[in-house]
């Protein structure tokens, strides 16, 4: 038997001049210990801690409303704490004294009622229907939040103009809403002339006065029966 020819393996020298390519790891190459970027909440969305603070503050405001409606400025921080179900440290984290929480209750009430009438005005298909919807929404909001309304409409505290501002802001928004709708009614030929600012403010004060009368007599449940009369008051302005 002839000898097997020797097996030769051809080798090639690897040049040291080969270019180096920087290593770019992929997601599969990344080690498990690689730190991950923290997710950022979408812009405009409050983080949970902010929501919690807002909820606690609102809880105190809602708890303070019935206490202030009954006792006014004679109310104590302890009474508000008991009504809201919060500790003393929690109360003072958000408010400095009873006057501070009184201002917050009035501001919340003013925004609550003004928002109710503005939302109602955006849904009506015609001026008369919008005006009736505005009156119904206002009466509904006052009836459902009677204690807030009592705090808002009763005599101001010693806080002066700052205390009065919440009610004035609410009244001003109400007046502007009526003004826009009555101007539109005039342009459409539904009214002889658009009422001036003094008359509009008198109308709003009249509506608020009827509401306050029912609140002071604890008859807010009957306030809805006044809606037709209040709507007639506004309608007569259109025909004046």
User: Does residue 79 sit within a domain?
Assistant: no
Q: What is the DSSP letter of 221?
A: G
Calpha distance 59→230 (Å, rounded): 33
Distances (CA, A) of 111 to 49, 156, 189: 24, 17, 32
Please write the tens of the pLDDT for every residue from 14-29.
Answer: 444 444 444 444 444 4
Calpha distance 141→103 (Å, rounded): 19
Does residue 208 have a pLDDT over 90? yes
Under a CB-based contact definition with an 8 Å cutoff, are residues 181 and 151 in contact? no
Q: What's 215's domain CATH number?
A: 1.10.357.10
Full-model pTM: 0.74
DSSP E strand stretches across the chain: none
User: Does residue 12 sit within a domain?
Assistant: no
User: Does residue 34 sit within a domain?
Assistant: no
User: Does residue 43 sit within a domain?
Assistant: no
Report residue 185: phi and psi, to 5°.
-65, -40
Please write the tens of the pLDDT for every residue from 25-57.
Answer: 444 444 444 445 555 556 666 568 889 999 999
Q: 68: part of which helix (H) or strand (E)? A: helix 48-71
Please write the tens of the pLDDT for every residue from 221-239.
Answer: 999 999 999 999 888 876 6
User: Does residue 5 sit within a domain?
Assistant: no
Please write the tens of the pLDDT for every residue from 71-118.
Answer: 988 999 999 999 999 999 999 999 999 999 999 999 999 999 999 999
User: Does residue 44 sit within a domain?
Assistant: no
Does residue 147 have a pLDDT over 80? yes
CA atoms within 13 A on the CB side of 194: 15
User: Does residue 9 sit within a domain?
Assistant: no
Calpha distance 179→197 (Å, rounded): 8
User: Does residue 33 sit within a domain?
Assistant: no
Range of the structural domain that residue 151 is part of: 100-239
Q: What is the DSSP letter of 17?
A: T
When divided into structural domains, the chain yields a total of 1
């Amino acid at each position: 038997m002839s000898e097997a020819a020797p097996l030769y393996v051809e080798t090639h020298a690897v040049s040291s001049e080969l270019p180096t390519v920087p290593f770019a790891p992929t997601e599969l190459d990344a080690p498990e210990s690689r730190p991950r970027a923290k997710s950022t909440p979408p812009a405009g969305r409050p983080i949970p801690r902010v929501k919690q603070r807002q909820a606690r503050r609102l809880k105190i405001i809602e708890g303070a409303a019935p206490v202030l409606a009954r006792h006014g400025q004679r109310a104590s921080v302890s009474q508000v704490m008991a009504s809201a179900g919060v500790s003393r440290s929690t109360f003072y984290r958000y408010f400095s004294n009873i006057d501070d929480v009184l201002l917050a209750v009035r501001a919340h009430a003013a925004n609550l009622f003004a928002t109710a009438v503005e939302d109602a005005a955006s849904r009506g298909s015609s001026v008369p229907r919008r005006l009736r919807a505005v009156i119904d929404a206002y009466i509904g909001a006052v009836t459902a939040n009677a204690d807030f309304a009592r705090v808002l409409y009763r005599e101001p505290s010693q806080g002066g103009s700052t205390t009065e501002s919440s009610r004035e802001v609410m009244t001003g928004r109400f007046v502007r809403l009526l003004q826009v709708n009555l101007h539109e009614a005039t342009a459409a030929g539904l009214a002889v002339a658009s009422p001036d600012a003094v008359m509009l403010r008198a109308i709003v004060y009249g509506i608020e006065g009827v509401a306050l009368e029912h609140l002071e007599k604890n008859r807010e449940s009957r306030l809805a029966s006044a809606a037709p009369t209040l709507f007639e008051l506004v309608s007569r302005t259109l025909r004046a």
